[in-house]
Structure formats: C-alpha cells, structure tokens
A and B are shown apart, each in its own frame.
Chain A
Amino acid sequence: MDRIIFGDNQFFGVNHMSEEKARAQSMRFRDTRAIMNVLDIAYSVGIRTFMCTTHDSIAEICNHIRANPKRYADFKFYPGMPYAHKYANAVTESGMIGALKRFVPGSIIGTVLKGGKAVATRDFIAMMKILIDTEMKMFAGLNTEVIFLQNVMTDLLLGLNLKEIFVAFSDHVKKKYRAEPGFFTMNLPRLLTLLEDCGIENPIICSSINKIGFRMCGGRELYEKVIRENEFRPIAMSVLASGAISPEEALEYICNKKQIRSIVFGASTRAHIEQTKELIEKYS
C-alpha cells in the first residue's frame, strides 16, 4: 500500500462540516473532467492510489484511465462498496425486497423467498457476491489491489455480528479479484476483535484517526492502544476532522504513530494537495 492515498469525498458533495461547502463542491465537480483535472494534479505530484466509492461518475473516470493506459500506468483504484445512499434510498422507495430485486439480477431473490433457513444463509452470500460483482464491473481491467467494504455496511454487519459475511466478502475479493479485502469503519477496536474471531489476519482497516477523537468510537486513547498493540494495517482517514484541526498539527499527530501505514485525504486544489503531501513527508 502507498503511504499517501487520495480520497473522493470532495467530488461528491460530502463534507462533514458544512452543507454549503458540500454543495459548492458538488457544483464544481458536476463534470467528470473537473474531477479528472484534480486527479491529474494528484498523479503529477506522485500520488498513485485513488480511493473511491462506486458512484456513477467514477465509471467515467475508469473509462478515461482505461483509454489512456500509458499515461496512467501506475494508477491504482481502492474501491469502497456498496455506495450506501444508493441502496438506502432504494429501500425507502421500493422496500427491502424490492431494492434487492432491483440490484440483484436473475431469479435468486425468488429462491431466497421460498427457501428455508439453510438455503437463506447460503443465498445471502450468493447475493452479496453478485452485488460486489455488479459494483466491480466499472473497474474491469484496472488495478484494484484492495477492495473495501464501506463503513455503513461494515458497521451494520459488525453490530449484527454477521461474521460469515465478513469471511465471505474477504474470500470473494481474494479469489475473484486477486485483491486484498479492506474495511472502512467508525468502530475500529470492536471491528478488530471481530475480524480476529473471523480469522482474517493482518487486516487492512481504514478508520477516522485524528487528534480530537472525532468519529472514533471507544475514544482516542483506546484507538492509540489498539494501533500500538495489534497486528493490522491501519489507514487513517478524517485526519483533519473536517478541518477542525490544522493540517500541520493533524499530520504531525498521525505521522508520529508509526504503525499507521497509509493516510487518505481529499483536496480540490494543487496547493492543498502539495501542502498535504509535503507535510506527510516532513513528519513521516
């Protein structure tokens, strides 16, 4: 894994601090070319990994990268799925079964509805695989060395204690895509325990890690302890806590935790991208 990973929240109107900023960003990046321009800046300063959702615009980015293989020879995607709001809105609109029918093609839903307990678990996993494959279609032929489960899904499955799904996700990603499984979470300590129980060794986990403890369930001290004492590959996100901490202070804190493998950040301008990269290199 690269030390520095570029994120995509800024392109899709995600801003944990301000809805106005989010809206302005979503206007600026309504055109995929505007996204590509920022990715080009990141690539030009040496950032090679792009961590992204499976938003429709990402499919266009993928097309562009595929069409220019020489130019983007080292470009790596770290896709995170499922794109939660797409499914949540679909469930409100069409119901749980309706939403599944919409996203899972074929007759498998019918089988599940008719099936008994033994059939159901197996088919849940079959459905999950189909959902992954559907979301992965846009990345065909591109480098996706780590495939992530998004935090809403990870944390839902974590709360539900559905270990079998974690194992199945991990196996499917390894077998079918020759990729490593990764997990986004807001509940790092709890997830680590569960993944250990699942036998998923040295997992890649991307979670909020920042100096003020924002979105770090269990608290900053517990996070620091599990990072120090456990064998896993942590990726830090929300390091600036949506701007509540200055970049210098934020990155100094992260880079001092030597166990943290990678840092993911999003930015929209050359100045911010360069500044963040320089600070990471300075403190690492």
Chain B
Amino acid sequence: MIKCGIIGLGKMGISHYAIINAHPDVSLIAVCDTSGLILNGLNKYNEVQTFKDYRKMIDKCNLDCVIIATPTSSHAKIIQYAMEHNIHVFVEKPFCFNLEDGRDLTNLALQRNLVNQVGYHNRFIGVFQETRKLLDQGAIGDVYNFTAEAYGQVVLKQKNSTWRMKRSEGGGCLYDYASHVIDLVNYLIGPPEEVCGTVLKSIFSRDVADAVYSTFLYNNGKSGRLAVNWSDKTYRKMSTQITVYGTTGKIIADRQECRIYLWNADGFGKLKQGWNILYTTDLTKPVWFYLRGEEYSAQIDYFVKRVKSNESENINSFASALRTDITVDLLLNDAGKRNFSHG
C-alpha cells in the first residue's frame, strides 16, 4: 500500500480525501489543515492522524506521497519540504506564483527522481485527450488559430472574504479559472511565445479579475484568443470549450463532446468528410470511484500508478505546469502595461 498524506482540507482537499480514501492501493495515513473544525469532523470514522503543521506530519509519518491543496502562495515551501524528504508530490493548480520557485522545484523533482504532478484535470477528460490525439495526427491539417473559453457563475456580487478573492494568495479568475484554460491551450496547442491585448477585468471583485481576455501569439504563425469569465450567470457550472482551426478542418471540444468538421473528401481514419461528433460516453474510461467527474479520479489514479512504479515522467508534470505559470506571468505583464486593467 502507498502511504499518502493530504495537506489542506478546503474544497479540493476534501474532494481528494474522498477519492484517495477509496483507492484500493492507497492508505491515507495523515491529514493536515490549519483548521481544527475540518480535522475533527472528518476523522471520527477514519484512522487517520491529524496535524496542524505539515512539517510535523512529514517528519513523523514516513509517507510515500502527499497531495497538497493549500492556497497557491504556500505551495513552494510545502513542496520543497516534502521533496527534501523524498516524498512524491501531487499539488493543486496553479503550481507556483514565483517562476524561480517553479524552476527550482522542477529541478529538485528531477534530481531526486520524484513523481511530480499538478492538478490540471482537463488533461484527464476523454474529449480533450481525443482532441490532442487528432491534432497530433494532423486530422485538421496545420493548426493556425484557436479560441479557448471558459465561463461560470462564481462571483456574481461584490465580496472579498476568501483567499480565492486575493491576488496575493493565488485567487481571482486568472489563477483559479483561467489557469485551467491556459493549461488546456498549452496541452493542445502549446504555450505562446507572446501575448497581447490582455485585459484583466474586475467586474465585482475589488482585488482580482473576474474576467480575462487575451490574444496568444506563436513564432510559427499560430495565434489564438482566450476569453474567461467567472461572473457569467448563464452557466450553471464551469464550462470550458476550445475551437481549433486547421487548414483542412475544425474541432470544437468541450467536456461533453468533440465536434470535428473535415474538408477532405477522404476523411481521416474513421472520421468522414463534414461533421463528426464524438461523445464523452464513448471517450471516457471507467474509474474505480466517481466524485464530480471521472477526471478527478483519473488524475489521482495516474499519480498513484506513477508513485508505485516510481516513474517521474508525466503529462501534468511540474515542468508542464511551470509553462502555464509562465503564460500567466506573460498575461500579467501585458495587462500591467495599461492602466484600465482594473475597473
């Protein structure tokens, strides 16, 4: 059995707790949170040690791996402490604020040959995996443009009470919502060399953006648009969609379906000329435990498998999440050039 600990029992931490607790190859040994309320409530029926200080947990528990789901600003120091104790790390997104920290930790993971994974779960959604495969195979020819969007109704009025609403802690639509879409772009298309026309728009929040708009530019001539807004009441929950234009076709992908239009009379593999629709029901692999979406379980299972086989290579590595952090940094710098970024 893999011995696992969880640090941070907020919304994602509790969700990871439930998923990992149900995993047949994992024994959840310890959890850590600064709030006694959550710790007390959770551990009546589980033989799990509780800690308020992650260092004590790591020192005492002889863990194989940890899941870190604390506010972003604390990721770097916790990851470093864990990896210095040769513990494999799964950390929630975004990876790190400070790019130097991100580079150092990526190197540390490589030096110590530790599994390093970040929770960008879109990479575990069947439809997006299929989209990546089709793009790699050249199904729609040379890709020249995309539109990546995500909308949801998180902030619909003024309020600033949690860390997610504070820029310094890693909150706001840019870090919390847009980072998922940027990572999806990096996964499907690659990270941009340059961004322009970035707008970080505060609609209701005082300190952070509620919407992010930008144009991505690539040295090879590709370009794309990013539009993310978490103050859109027309969406019941976060909805992410990417439209990719190629020289011989177009793909529109979201969590539920992948719609592919092909120009060529010959089609491509099993795909025919004209519209093709692939559904999530056909593209989603079964998981051992379901909570909120197969992708949450799939990413944890992927992590556990890598810990078991001690393979540090993975599709959601620190290195790949660092590229997403770098793109976030490009957006911030670009938006900072103008003074209409707030309000």
Contact = CB atoms under 8 A, between A and B. Distances in A.
Nearest to A159: B18
B41 A124 contact: yes
Interface in B283-323: 284, 286-292
A217 B154 contact: no
A160 B18 contact: yes
Contacts of A14: 236
B338 interface: no
A262 B15 CA distance: 30
A54 to B, nearest CB: 14
Contacts of A244: 279, 281-282
A162 interface: yes
Contacts of B163: 95
A17 B256 contact: yes
Given A156-B291, A214-B281, A95 B162 contact: yes
Contacts of B38: 96
Interface string A39-82: 00000000000000000000000000000000000000000000
Interface in B91-138: none
A226 to B, nearest CB: 15
User: Max chain A CB contacts within 10 Å: which of B11, B14, B36, B41?
Assistant: B41
Contacts of A219: 286
B44 A160 contact: no
Interface in A110-167: 112-113, 116-117, 120-121, 124, 152, 155-164
Q: What class of interface size applies to chain B in its complex with A?
A: 35 or more
A93 B157 CA distance: 10
Contacts of A88: 11, 237
User: Max chain A CB contacts within 10 Å: which of B21, B42, B256?
Assistant: B256
B289 A187 contact: yes
B6 to A, nearest CB: 11
Contacts of A120: 36-37, 40-41
Given A15-B256, A117-B40, A120-B40, A89 B279 contact: no
Contacts of B237: 85, 88-89
A159 B10 contact: no
A152 B161 contact: no
A46 B293 CA distance: 35
B289 A164 contact: no
Interface in B1-44: 10-11, 14-15, 17-19, 21-22, 35-38, 40-42, 44
Interface of B: 10-11, 14-15, 17-19, 21-22, 35-38, 40-42, 44-46, 152-155, 159, 161-165, 176, 234, 236-237, 239, 241, 254-257, 279-282, 284, 286-292
Interface of A: 12-19, 22-23, 26, 85, 88-89, 91-98, 112-113, 116-117, 120-121, 124, 152, 155-164, 186-187, 190, 212-219, 241-242, 244
